[in-house]
Amino acid sequence: MARLLLAVGFGMTGAGLLLVLTPLSVTDSPTALFALAGVSVVALGAGVLTGLERSVTSPRGGSLPTTDNRAGVSTPGEGFDLKLSELSVGDGAGQAVVHERLEAVALATLSEYRDCSRDAARAQLADGEWTDDPRASAFFTDEPPSAAERFRTVLTGEPTAARRARCVVDELSRYAEAESG
C-alpha cells in the first residue's frame, strides 16, 4: 500500500510539473481542465486510501501508560532540577539558593574524593583550581559572563548561572564516576 501511494505521489508531482511547464496550463484549453480534474481526482483518491489504511492499521482504543508522578514519590534531585529550570537572569535569590546547594555538594565531594578538609576544598572552589572546566570554575569564582555567554543567554533564554550550574553538576559527577570506575 505504501508503494502504491508513493507511486501515486510521484505521478501527481510529474503531472503538476507537466501542467506548469507546458502550454497545457492555459485554462482555456479543455485538455488542461481535463488534466487538472484528473489530478484532483487522483489526489482525492490517494487521500481516501491513506485514511482507510491508517484506520485499519492504527491501534483502536489503545493508550500508553502515563508517566506522571501521581503517587507523589519524588526522585532524588527533582527539587534542584525544578529550581534550576525556574532560574531567570534577574533572579538573584534563586541563583543564591542554587549556589548554596551546589557549594555544599561540591565541598562534600571535594573533601571526600580529594581527601582534603572543607576549608581546603572551599579554597579550591574560590580559586577555581578544582576543575579544568572554565564554566564550572566560574560558577564559584563569580567571574562575570563573557560576551559569548551573554549572547548564548539571549539566544537560548537559559541564564549563564544555570548553564554553569549544569557544568558543576557534570564535573562533580565525574569525581564519583572516576572513583567507582
Successive 10-residue mean pLDDT values, the chain, 181 residues: 74 73 63 73 78 63 58 67 73 81 90 89 90 90 86 82 89 80 60
Looking at the structure, do residues 104 and 147 belong to the same domain, yes or no? yes
| 170/135 Cα distance (integer angstroms) | 11
Residue keyed to cell 531567570: 88
Helix (H, G, I), strand (E, B) or coil at 88: coil
* HSE of 73, CA atoms in CB hemisphere, 13 A: 2
> Please, what is the end-to-end C-alpha distance for the chain in angstroms?
52
| 95/100 Cα distance (integer angstroms) | 9
Q: What's the pLDDT score for residue 71?
A: 59
Judge contact between 172 and 137, C-beta under 8 A. no
Looking at the structure, do residues 44 and 117 belong to the same domain, yes or no? no
pTM of the model: 0.55
106 in a domain, yes or no? yes
59 in a domain, yes or no? no
Looking at the structure, do residues 15 and 97 belong to the same domain, yes or no? no
Looking at the structure, do residues 131 and 45 belong to the same domain, yes or no? no
What is the total count of domains within the chain? Answer: 2
72 in a domain, yes or no? no
Domain around 47? 2-54
Contacts of 128 (CB under 8 A, 6+ apart): 137, 138, 140, 141, 143
83 in a domain, yes or no? yes
Looking at the structure, do residues 22 and 90 belong to the same domain, yes or no? no
Q: What's the pLDDT score for residue 69?
A: 57
